[in-house]
Every structure is written in structure tokens, then in C-alpha cells.
Amino acid sequence: QITLKESGPTLVKPTQTLTLTCTFSGFSLSTSAVGVGWIRQPPGKALEWLALIYWDDDKRYSPSLKSRLTITKDTSKNQVVLTMTNMDPVDTATYYCAHSHYDSSGYYVFFDYWGQGTLVTVSS
């Protein structure tokens, strides 16, 4: 059974750096074709993809946020960490981590398991 859970501060001040941890179980991030991504959702707004790290340590970032994001993995701890610098009130959102992999055909990729999300508020 695959589970993911996000953890981190619920409140950060403007200009601070946010560090979020995704702790997962039921899969290994050293398995081929597996990845963990981060997606956020401001209150009442749409989903926005942020970053993704693959089993081989390949990393992809949202072009609009790339300069502020860093994603890393600790395979031994089953954790993925996302840092976002220079936080602003517009970054207030629920942050989700999600499991990514390919289907049995090896052709289609998707986020099939999601954490419950963690609400991060940016305010002074």
C-alpha cells in the first residue's frame, strides 16, 4: 500500500525559505521509472505543478518557479524534500506530494497516489 505524507511549517514569513518533506511508504525511489512530485493549490484555485524527482535523480521544475525551487531525495529515509526560497503571500497554498510512475505498457505516466496535503500560509 502506497502512502505519502507532507510535513513542514504551517506558517512562514515573507522572504523566508520554505522546506517541505514528503515521507512515503510502499515503494522505493530507487525503482526504475518511479518519481515523486510536488503540486500546490492556493485556496479556491487550481492545481499547479512545482517539481518532480525521478529514481535516477533526474529533476524537473516548473519554468516559472525554477529559480526558487530545489528538490532532493533521500532514498534510505524514503523522503523527498522541496525547498522554495523567497516566500511571498501569493505562495500561500496547500502543498501536495504525489507518486509518479509509468503504467504496465511503459508508455503512460501519471500521479496515482497523493498525500493529504499541507497548508502553508505566508504572512508576517
Partner 1 sequence: QSVLTQPPSASGTPGQRVTLSCSGSTSNIGSNAVNWYQQLPGTAPKLLIYGNNQRPSGVPDRFSGSKSGTSASLAISGLQSDDEADYYCAAWDDSLSGYWVFGGGTKLTVL
Q: List contacts with partner 1 (CB under 8 A).
A: 37, 39, 46-49, 52, 60-63, 96, 103, 105, 107-112, 114-117
Query: At a CB cut-off of 8 Å and minimum separation 6, what does 72 contact?
Result: 53, 80, 81
Minimum distance between the CB of residue 123 and partner 1, rounded to whole angstroms? 22
Closest CA to 36 of 51, 48, 47: 51
Based on CB atoms, which residue is closest to partner 1, 29 or 52?
52
Minimum distance between the CB of residue 124 and partner 1, rounded to whole angstroms? 27
For residues 72 and 79, the answer to whether their CB atoms sit within 8 Å is no
Q: What is the largest CA-CA distance in the chain?
A: 49
Based on CB atoms, which residue is closest to partner 1, 15 or 25?
25
Interatomic CA distance for residues 117 and 115, integer angstroms: 5
Based on CB atoms, which residue is closest to partner 1, 61 or 87?
61
Minimum distance between the CB of residue 83 and partner 1, rounded to whole angstroms? 18
Based on CB atoms, which residue is closest to partner 1, 28 or 116?
116
C-alpha of 122 from chain center: 18
